[in-house]
Amino acid sequence: MTRAARLHTARLRLRQWEDADRLPFAQMNADPEVMRFFPGTQTQEQSDRSIAAWSAELDERGWSNWAVEQVGDGAFIGFVGLSVPKRQLPFMPCVEIGYRLARPYWGKGYATEAGREVLRFGFQQLELAEIVSFTARLNLPSQAVMQRLGMRDAHEDFEHPAVPEGSPLRPHCLYRLSRQDWAAGGA
């Protein structure tokens, strides 16, 4: 068992999941606006399964999707982290940066701030050669975060196998950032 890394920024703490995160995480995942670029909202049980899986990964390897809280008041705002996709995708193997924040915390730069710290951890601590991110082609807000992180559209669009055929959310775009580009100021 490894000790889960705790990451910090000026305004945020990225930490291991706690029982108190379960309800706000489930509420966030049940919000149709938060989940508009996913096939559907999630139940409490689905949200709890994600927390259990990410907590175990944090304990086992020291990194995964971290719970994110504000420094000032300790409010849970969502997650940001690194993961290895569970589905077989055309660009595997890879490590992906992902993020999802509750709606009250949108537009404050939190995803970008936490994402920069996660990229630093991935490239400096884990010595990853590359980190990717992907989303529905329609998800322009998420692509804007990827761009602010210094990631570039790889022009390797693909059909996500977890999204039903015919759904406008099935076409996905892939963004990439190499450690070399990151070190040269890509972020």
Assess if residue 1 is contained within a domain.
no
**Would you call 69 helix, strand, or coil by DSSP?**
strand
pLDDT at 5: 80
Assess if residue 2 is contained within a domain.
no
- pTM comes to 0.94
Assess if residue 96 is contained within a domain.
yes
C-alpha distances (whole Å) from 141 to each of 69, 79, 125, 145 are: 21, 16, 28, 7
Rg of the Cα atoms in the chain: 16
The CATH number for 57's domain is 3.40.630.30
Assess if residue 155 is contained within a domain.
yes
**Would you call 108 helix, strand, or coil by DSSP?**
coil
* CA–CA distance, 175 with 152 (Å, rounded to integer): 5
Domain count of the fold of the chain: 1
Assess if residue 102 is contained within a domain.
yes
Range of the structural domain that residue 70 is part of? 7-186
**Would you call 48 helix, strand, or coil by DSSP?**
helix
Assess if residue 160 is contained within a domain.
yes
pLDDT digits (tens, 9 = 90+) for 87-112: 899 999 999 999 999 999 999 999 99
pLDDT digits (tens, 9 = 90+) for 121-165: 999 999 999 999 999 999 999 999 999 999 999 999 999 999 999
Query: 80: pLDDT confidence band, cut at 50, 70 and 90?
Result: very high
Q: Is the peptide bond before 93 cis (omega within 30 degrees of 0)?
A: yes
Assess if residue 104 is contained within a domain.
yes
For the cut 70, the answer to whether the pLDDT of residue 118 exceeds it is: yes
Query: 120: pLDDT confidence band, cut at 50, 70 and 90?
Result: very high
pLDDT digits (tens, 9 = 90+) for 49-69: 999 999 999 999 999 999 999
Assess if residue 167 is contained within a domain.
yes
The chain-wide mean pLDDT, for the chain, equals: 95
Place of tokens 């945020």: 12
* CA–CA distance, 185 with 123 (Å, rounded to integer): 13
Dihedral through CA 23, CA 29, CA 32, CA 34, nearest 10?
Answer: 110
